[in-house]
């Protein structure tokens, strides 16, 4: 079930609805204290961009989880956010849980996508996650250092395939792991300190020269 890209119609809708040249922002509300910063798309043969804070197919569940669900009308649901990855990002992690009526035809996805070209950048589920299970939960962590500094679209998708639309997909604690800033070596600190002393001595000497 892997390596399946976002629905073509949803992808087109995402591209058309994103403001080009918009102010870049960091990841917002990865703990789902609210849906601020997140947008939703629902599909029933045509796409509709919705506010997940008010649409009934998106809910904030206990434990800091955002829950996506489908129904007989809207069988494909996506939650997404566009943001800039820090230049020192190493990985992205999130908690997940799903309940599918038929895991052989229903589908969940977590992915990084290029918001301009719609290029599929990374599947955020590790290969160890078992998609044959009707219910599953855990924490996923994926190396995304190759995309450090890029503007990306983070997308979570729930798609029904068996015409039994009572599936759910929950996500929480979306976090970026960052590389620690390098600590200057002692020699570097010593050279820096000597440089400051030299500047201070030169400034005092220059003042004495002008005073004479």
Q: Which fold has domain 8-178?
A: Jelly Rolls (2.60.120)
Angle at 82 between CA 81 and CA 85, to 5 degrees: 115
Closest CA to 169 of 83, 91, 85, 52: 52
pLDDT of res. 148: 97
pLDDT of amino acid 152:
97
The token pair at 9 is: 């119609």
Q: What's the N-to-C CA distance of the chain in angstroms?
A: 83
The pair phi, psi for residue 156, each rounded to 5°, is: -115, 125
- Output the DSSP codes for 139-159: EEEEE-GGGTT-EEEEEEEEE
The full set of domain ranges for the chain reads 8-178, 184-212
Q: Would you write out the chain's pLDDT as a tens digit for each of its 212 residues?
A: 344 444 444 554 555 555 444 456 899 999 999 999 999 999 998 999 999 999 999 999 988 999 999 999 999 999 999 999 999 999 999 999 999 999 999 999 999 999 999 999 999 999 999 999 999 999 999 999 999 999 999 999 999 999 998 999 999 999 999 998 766 665 555 555 555 555 555 544 444 444 45
In this prediction, residue 99 carries a pLDDT of 97
C-alpha span between 102 and 125 (Å, rounded): 19
Q: What is the pLDDT of residue 25?
A: 87
Query: Which 3 state secondary structure label does DSSP give 7?
Result: coil
pLDDT of residue 203: 42
CA distance 46 to 126: 31
Buried-state track 124-136, b at ≥16 Cβ within 10 A, e below 16? bbeeebebeeeeb
């Amino acid at each position: 079930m892997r390596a399946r890209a976002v629905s073509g119609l949803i992808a087109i809708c995402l591209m058309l609805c994103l403001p080009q040249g918009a102010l870049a922002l960091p990841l917002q509300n990865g703990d789902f204290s609210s849906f601020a910063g997140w947008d939703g798309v629902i599909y029933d043969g045509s796409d509709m961009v919705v506010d997940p804070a008010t649409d009934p197919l998106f809910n904030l569940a206990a434990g800091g989880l955002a829950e996506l669900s489908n129904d007989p009308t809207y069988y494909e649901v996506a939650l997404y956010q566009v943001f800039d990855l820090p230049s020192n990002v190493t990985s992205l992690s999130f908690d997940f849980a799903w309940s599918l009526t038929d895991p052989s035809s229903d589908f969940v996805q977590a992915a990084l996508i290029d918001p301009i070209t719609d290029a599929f950048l990374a599947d955020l589920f590790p290969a160890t996650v078992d998609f044959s299970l009707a219910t599953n939960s855990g924490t996923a962590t994926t190396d995304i250092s190759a995309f450090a500094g890029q503007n990306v679209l983070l997308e979570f998708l729930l798609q029904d395939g068996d015409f039994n639309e009572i599936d759910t997909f929950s996500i929480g604690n979306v976090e970026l792991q960052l590389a620690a800033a390098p600590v200057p070596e002692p020699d570097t600190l010593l050279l820096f300190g000597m440089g400051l002393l030299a500047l201070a001595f030169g400034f005092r000497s220059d003042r004495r020269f002008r005073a004479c």
